[in-house]
């Protein structure tokens, strides 16, 4: 192979410096490959700039309203509380800039050439970027996804999550359209920071694909907080009136609002890259079609992350990037396992989950035992808050293996992460039962559930 490498400037050229692309580039370079990465927007991709990181910062910010209220039940008096949106956004932007720099340094240190600009494919081994032609033995498409908004009258008046992170002023009334992570999380953010918030979703209940019981309970908890829902509904038209917007819905209802945010899914970022021209096959949703080794229909072109639309999660893109670098440049053919992926919706309260939903477990195993508990957490016991925490274990009766774990409540993500390791290791219900709990914690409930529902 040695002698053919010289005919290309790079062994690997990565398009897109988000979570997946950066990890693949750094690891490949670490294995001795000559690597370049091109980015036309911002280092760190969606996650760092307009995704997980700023979203979680906004979630923290929005929870303080409840924390201040709760503090009173513990004897604290915080008077004259007010919120400054500008300060939050400025501090957030400052932190993101720092992270962009961290990514730049990581790539530099790994010996990856970073090129700012939009790369487009010319053929199976060459690209054009900033007017120059670059050649590479292998090309990796890691361009991620982009929010998608359907076409309808007044579409130009809506924002997506991209703009939500940079709003000049905080809106008093917000309508959010959508039913996935982003819609639900932003409903909690806007409401917690003081906006009158309505979530509109065309289906009967949000977070399709998650455990049904948890979805229903989360909707209840959010309603209790004062978030309004319009389910089985869609917006039909939006018009701009002096300083605000009027939204018409499929049920002929009309709402006036200051902001309309669409969180109606994300589409793979595959337009205008030259993919079709060089024969890279895309599916109906414009995602790059790849085999189990992330190879596209053109053997020298690979793709990972949101652009292949398999599982749209940052740690998955990173795992795919590592598997690819190991396979191509480290003589270690690797694949990502897509089962037992833990995840958390940073709703308020959080919804954390790993393994199968009850519906999926019944389908796959038939005979399952369900253990669950619902209670008011100790932290709220001195207050008049009625928020409930809910936890659920799903066990395959034949093997006693725990096949699904779900939690709705504070810090669900932190708690489920540890439990995910147990599921990966094949833990049985007996193993959970013989584990000593840490008292008093919420998490101990996972090892004290004794009777099936």
Both tokens assigned to 202: 């065309």
Q: Which of 77, 82, 94, 439 is catalytic?
A: 439
- Which phi and psi angles does 286 have, rounded to 5°? 70, 15
- Listed in sequence order, the residues at least 6 apart from 342 whose beta carbon sits closer than 8 Å to its beta carbon are 352, 353, 354, 416, 417, 419, 420
User: Could you give the CA distance from residue 58 to residue 83 in angstroms, rounded to a whole number?
Assistant: 12
Both tokens assigned to 386: 């009625």
Helix (H) or strand (E) holding 137, with range, is strand 132-141
DSSP, residue by residue, 380-439: GTTS-----EEEEEEEETTTTEEEEEEEESTTHHHHHHHHHHHHHTT-BHHHHHTSPPPS
Both tokens assigned to 201: 């979703």
The angle that helices 358-365 and 212-225 make with each other, rounded to 10 degrees, is: 170
- In the residue annotation, 3 being an active-site residue is answered as no
Radius of gyration of the chain (CA): 24
Q: Give the active site residues.
A: 439
């Amino acid at each position: 192979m040695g002698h053919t490498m010289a005919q290309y400037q790079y062994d690997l050229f990565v398009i897109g410096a988000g979570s997946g692309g950066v990890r693949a580039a750094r690891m490949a370079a670490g294995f001795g490959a000559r690597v370049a990465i091109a980015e036309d927007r911002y280092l760190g991709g969606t996650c760092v700039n307009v995704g997980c990181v700023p979203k979680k910062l906004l979630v923290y910010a929005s929870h303080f309203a409840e924390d201040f209220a709760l503090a009173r039940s513990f004897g604290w008096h915080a008077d004259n509380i007010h919120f400054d949106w500008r300060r939050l956004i400025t501090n957030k932007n400052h932190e993101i800039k720092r992270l962009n720099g961290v990514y730049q340094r990581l790539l530099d240190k790994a010996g990856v050439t970073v090129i700012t600009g939009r790369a487009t494919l010319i053929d199976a081994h060459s690209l054009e970027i900033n007017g120059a032609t670059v050649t590479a033995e292998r090309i990796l498409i890691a361009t991620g996804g982009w929010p998608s908004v359907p076409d309808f009258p007044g579409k130009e008046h809506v924002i997506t999550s991209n703009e939500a992170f940079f709003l000049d002023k905080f809106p008093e009334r917000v309508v959010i359209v959508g039913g996935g992570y982003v819609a639900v999380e932003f409903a909690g953010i806007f409401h917690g920071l003081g906006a009158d918030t309505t979530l509109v979703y065309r289906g009967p209940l949000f977070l399709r694909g998650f455990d049904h019981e948890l979805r229903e309970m989360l909707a209840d908890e959010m309603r209790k907080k004062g978030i309004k829902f319009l389910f089985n509904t869609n917006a039909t038209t939006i018009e701009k009136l002096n300083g605000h917007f009027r939204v018409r819905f499929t049920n002929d209802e009309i709402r006036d609002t200051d902001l309309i945010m669409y969180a109606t899914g994300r589409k793979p970022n595959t337009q205008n890259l030259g993919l079709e021209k060089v024969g890279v096959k895309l599916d109906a949703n414009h995602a790059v079609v790849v085999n189990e080794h992330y190879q596209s229909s053109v053997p020298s072109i690979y793709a990972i992350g949101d652009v292949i639309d398999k599982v749209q999660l940052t740690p998955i893109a990173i795992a795919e990037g590592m598997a690819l670098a190991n396979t191509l440049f480290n003589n270690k053919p690797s694949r990502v396992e897509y089962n037992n992926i833990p995840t958390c919706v940073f709703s308020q309260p959080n919804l954390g989950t790993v393994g199968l939903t009850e519906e999926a477990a019944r389908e796959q195993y038939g005979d399952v035992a369900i253990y669950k508990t619902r209670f008011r957490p100790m932290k709220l016991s001195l207050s008049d808050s009625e928020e409930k925490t809910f936890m659920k274990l799903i066990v395959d009766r034949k093997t006693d293996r725990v096949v699904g774990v779900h939690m709705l409540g504070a810090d669900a993500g932190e708690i489920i992460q540890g439990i995910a390791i147990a599921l990966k290791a094949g833990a049985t219900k007996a193993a959970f039962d013989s584990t000593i709990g840490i008292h008093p914690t919420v998490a101990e409930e996972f090892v004290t559930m004794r009777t099936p529902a």
